[in-house]
Amino acid sequence: MELRQLRYFVEVAEREHVSEAAVHLHIAQSAVSRQISKLEDELGILLFEKTGRNIQLTTIGKIFLFHAKTAIQAIEYAKYQIEEFLDPEHGTIKIGFPTSLSTHLLPTVISAFKDEQPNIGFHLRQGSYSSLKEAVKNREIGLAFLGPIPINDPDIEGHILFTENISALLPITHPLAERKSLRLSDLRNDPFVLFPKGYILHSIAIEACKAAGFAPNITSEGEDMDSIKGLVSAGIGVSLLPDSTFYEVTPRLTVKIPIDTPEVKRTVGIITPKNRELAPSEELFYQFAKKFFSVLEQYQ
């Protein structure tokens, strides 16, 4: 069994068409068909079956596809680690991040790191809370910034960089806009603007309102931070957002007000895989980020 055969197999399986796979691979269709046949002969099974002009995976083919992808990812990661060990100061770090950390935290720490390690590059990937955890587990990225840090995950190691408050964002015309702080229960009759269900900031807001004794009336949703802030600016409703998302400026026509009851916080940090070591350049960045935020905390 050859790596080339696995690559051809995955390409055909995902496109369900040999000729389309051949075009994408920049090789002759006959060469793809020949390698698939050799793979099936070696395994002693049929991986595909015809459906009209296309083909589709057999039941055993679907099982083999999962393991083929895992094998290819493992080999690619092994090659990447070898290159890293040969030249750790010229590597590329694959980092994941959520939208809530993209405006200040990520640019700040990467810029500071680049001052010390100018030859190390970055491949950045934005994603949801759950997708970033899976990407770290599946070797798609080396590490990820996340908030809050997951606990009790057997495959994830989490290091907390800091803890931040969640504040209320209100339209400037809101009756409570002049308050220095508020109880979350003060907003029980307001329409809420939140991230959709499945987003971690949605869950945090729901749990906070529950702790305050009410279920929020969610009238609008936004899938990114700018959308949420824009809807609040337009007077559509109120929202609950992490303090780091307001760095230096609060959106126009809104006010940010601290919540004193209940205390609403989230941890922010870096997650790494428990079942494998970081590549040298990843380890350099990981240790730098921990030191960077520990120094910041001393001055705050």
Which domains does the chain show, CATH number per domain? 3-84 (1.10.10.10), 89-300 (3.40.190.290)
How far apart CA 292 and CA 300 sit, in angstroms, is 13
Cβ neighbours of residue 247 closer than 8 Å, sequence gap 6 or more = 103, 104
Token couple for 156: 């994830």
CB distance 177 to 169 below 8 Å: no
Burial of 46 (0-12, 13-18, 19+ CB in 10 A): exposed
Q: pLDDT truncated to tens, each residue of the chain (300 aa)?
A: 788 888 888 888 888 888 888 888 888 888 888 888 888 888 888 988 888 778 888 988 888 988 888 888 878 777 766 766 656 566 788 999 998 888 888 889 999 999 998 888 898 999 889 999 999 998 889 999 999 999 888 999 999 999 999 999 999 999 999 999 999 999 999 999 999 998 999 999 999 999 999 999 999 999 888 899 999 999 999 999 999 888 767 788 999 999 999 999 999 999 999 988 888 888 999 999 999 988 766 555
d(CA 202, CA 158): 21
Task: Find, among 37, 292, 280, the residue nearest to 142 by Cα.
Answer: 280
CA–CA distance, 81 with 79 (Å, rounded to integer): 5
**Residues 59, 63: Cα–Cα separation, whole Å:** 7
Beta bridge mates, 265: 165
CA-based torsion, 257, 259, 264, 269: positive or negative: positive
Residue with tokens 């051809």: 8
Report pLDDT for 52.
76
CA distance 252 to 172: 8
With contact defined as beta carbons under 8 Å apart, do 96 and 135 qualify? yes
Res 188: pLDDT:
96
Residue 267 has phi, psi (to 5 degrees) of -85, 150
3-state secondary structure at position 203? helix
Q: Which residue's entry shows tokens 């992808």?
A: 69
